A and B are shown apart, each in its own frame.
Chain A
Amino acid sequence: MFKDETKLDINYVPHRLPHRDSELRLLMEFFNSMQQFPGKMSQRVLVTGEVGTGKTVLSQRFGADMTREAGNHGTHLRYIHINCREYHGSFFLILQHAVSVFHPNFPKRGYSAEELLRILAQILEEENAYAILTLDEFDSLILREGSEAVYQLTRLQEVRQNKPQRLSLIFILRDISLIDKLDASTRSTLQSNIINLAKYSKQQLTDILNERVSIAFKPLAVPEETMNAIAELAFSENGNARFGIELLWRAGKYANAENLDTVNPECARKAVSSIIPATKRSDLAYLSLHEKLLLVGVARLFKESHKAQVSLAEAEQAYMVACEEFNTKPHSHTQLWKYLQNLSSIGIVKTEVSTAGPRGRSTLVYLPRIPANDLEKELETLLQKGEE
């Protein structure tokens, strides 16, 4: 069935990005001066859009093209793409990863984030290098570190006056309103260049999927009706191309397992029922231990009660039981509330403040998209893995 299934992998960056040509050109345009006059000017760009609108792949394609171009001009440019959520939004860990791109064995402790930032600047200076640092899932850095970290990053160049401008930044985030959480001066440094990626239409999704099919599957393996069905499903999942590509891969796997000649629409249906919508497994894997414990408690509550929403107090009780089960000391109520905000910002749960109760305000938790049963199973697997 497959010619090369790695072309459907989440980390694969295609050479051509259908329906993102103009955004790619715009990104190139923003960085044009950096290309023509290296060191004269650094750049900051904000890329926003819903899940599966191509934010990550656009930046990575741009990074690869830009690095190649720079190499042709004899400029040493490094494109560094960091998923902030992978580092739990910690500024220190994010910078440490950036430094490790240049010095893989750089010590893991013994200095502050501020020092690390200076070290990064020193490395670029000494190696006569330039870097484009892309902070993907920037939301988690804002939520954890607030304005200070972002301010330090964006003002790095200003404390190095009369020196070449070596560090440019791309911030990727789903919800641009999160920028409002930053203080005014930090916000002003970010809001000049914004690229907003609109949701894909069904036809655009079909084009994207067709392109992937041509490089990942053997000829005629995926009939048009299956393509249409998958594009329709991806479109109904908020125009999420990533979801469509994952469905394509799963449907191919089902067809292979059943020894079919082609990937029929039934394979697509089986694939969709096996997938946790809108949430990659990696989203769950990146959660901290206590976020997983809270979420597994919430999933169990929904599974047992069949209710539309549960209260934070109920969620806390369920979390404590999960802590006991996995032999972990529970965190405080305030901490729990923060975890819930993070789970909500990722889109796994939805929270709402209710004022209807007799005892004032209380937080209600919803599980809008993921079947509780699937979520519980997935989290239990992850938690058990963590215990080994």
Chain B
Amino acid sequence: MNIEDVFCSKVRMKILKVLAQLGELNVSEITRRLSINYETTAKHLEILEAEGILQHKRFGRIRLYRLDENSPKTRAIRTLLDVWKQSETI
């Protein structure tokens, strides 16, 4: 997927923001926090995982998603989010 395709989605950006902030969350919790439906959340998580930005761990029925800190893409996104947050607080 092109960078513009990954970043053009408001939901995907929100997912990245919430995971950067809280570390790891399960699908229902992301759904609840972003006030979107489960299927939409699951679809976007899948896309971000396929891009190597996220990873998940499965515990029985529960899947916990987090940023894949080993991925250069994720590191770049983290920097972007941090810079953005800092400039918002100035």
Contact = CB atoms under 8 A, between A and B. Distances in A.
Interface stretch (B6-14, B23-31, B36-44, B81-89): B23-31
B64 interface: yes
B29 A111 contact: no
B22 interface: yes
Interface string A86-120: 00000000000000000111110011000100110
A103 B24 CA distance: 8
B24 A110 contact: no
B62 A110 contact: yes
Contact of B24 (A105, A115, A122): A105
Contacts of A123: 59
Contacts of A104: 23
A110 B25 CA distance: 14
A105 B25 contact: yes
Given A110-B62, A111-B60, A119-B60, A105 B28 contact: no
Interface in B35-90: 57, 59-62, 64
| Highest count of chain B CB atoms <10 Å: which of A105, A110, A111 | A105
A122 B59 contact: yes
Contacts of A115: 60
A191 B84 CA distance: 58
Interface string A118-160: 1100110010000000000000000000000000000000000
B61 A110 contact: yes
Interface string A218-244: 000000000000000000000000000
B67 to A, nearest CB: 13
Contacts of B61: 110-111
Contacts of A122: 59
A106 B64 contact: yes
A105 B23 contact: yes
A103 B60 contact: no
Nearest to B27: A107
Nearest to B28: A107
